[in-house]
């Protein structure tokens, strides 16, 4: 797709592949390419699930500090909007999305994993938000998504200290969902989302919307939003097929319509 972000599809699973050696530093060009590939992933009806992967060596070791070091307030106030928009585009992919983490996922790299639904990490992976050590804070969603994922106290520990955590600690605090040998990370991520390929795409999209959007609502508003999405699915062919298959005791043939 782009110079540093590739888009590959195999058996209904799309892979967003970061490829900016040596450690996939997330400069402005990479951010723009992530945004564009996320748009393609959202729009392609042949894709039922997505893997975000940095390759065998590293997921992404954060932003390109050399690019940012001389930037002032006015320019950064504009740039950070584009940065957040790129990661939001990943978070809003209306399909199951998993990050396959090898090596380092630090700073913006960690924030990119937080925009995914699940995280599979290598046994030797390192994750963290070290921005405080260079005098700033996470700016691509880290203060918000991390706190929602692991709780505010643990998020403050990681963000205030800037320390990295190994895969075992990341699993213990809920920062990652599975830990496997490094050689098995990508394959495990693919197998995690494979069951959703050929599934009821509209229902999966609605479920993701209900959970992610509902987290920003109070309970009554979230329940009302859920009810709207639930009722809307009764206008889909997949709902008719799913219930007919259940009653006939056969496997459903979903079409995503």
131 is known as an active-site residue: yes
Which residues, other chains included, contact 154 with Cβ-Cβ below 8 Å and sequence gap of 6+? 173
Of 3, 67, 78, 131, the active-site residue reads 131
Dihedral angle of Cα 171, 174, 175, 179, to the nearest 10 degrees: 30
Largest Cα–Cα distance in the chain? 66
Selecting among 56, 78, 111, 123, the annotated active-site residue is: 111
Q: Give 73: exposed, middle or buried? Use CB within 10 Å, 0-12, 13-18, 19+.
A: exposed
Q: Which residues are bridge partners to 126 per DSSP?
A: 104, 166
226 is catalytic: no
Distance in angstroms (rounded) separating the CA atoms of residues 150 and 145: 9
Q: Which residues are catalytic?
A: 111, 131
């Amino acid at each position: 797709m782009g110079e540093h972000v590739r888009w590959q599809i195999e058996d209904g699973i799309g892979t967003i592949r970061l490829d900016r050696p040596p450690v996939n530093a997330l400069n402005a060009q990479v951010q723009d390419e992530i945004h564009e590939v996320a748009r393609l992933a959202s729009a392609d009806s042949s894709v039922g699930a997505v893997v975000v992967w940095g390759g065998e060596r590293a997921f992404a070791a954060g932003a390109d500090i050399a690019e940012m070091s001389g930037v002032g307030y006015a320019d950064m106030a504009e740039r950070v909007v584009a940065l957040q928009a790129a990661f939001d585009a990943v978070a809003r992919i209306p399909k199951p999305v998993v990050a396959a983490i090898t090596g380092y996922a630090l700073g913006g790299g960690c924030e990119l994993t937080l925009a995914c639904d699940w995280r599979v990490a290598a046994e030797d992976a390192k994750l963290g938000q070290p921005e405080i050590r260079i005098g700033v804070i996470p700016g691509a969603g880290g203060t918000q998504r991390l706190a929602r994922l692991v709780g505010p106290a643990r998020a403050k520990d990681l963000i205030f200290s800037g320390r990295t955590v190994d895969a075992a600690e990341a699993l213990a605090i809920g920062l990652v969902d599975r830990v496997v040998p490094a050689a098995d990370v990508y394959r495990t991520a693919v197998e995690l989302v494979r069951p959703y390929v050929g599934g009821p795409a509209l229902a999966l999209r609605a479920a993701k919307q209900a959970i992610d959007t509902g987290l920003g609502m109070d309970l009554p508003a979230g329940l009302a939003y859920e009810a709207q999405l639930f009722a809307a699915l009764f206008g889909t062919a997949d709902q008719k097929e799913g219930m007919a298959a259940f009653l006939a005791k056969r496997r459903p043939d979903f079409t995503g319509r």
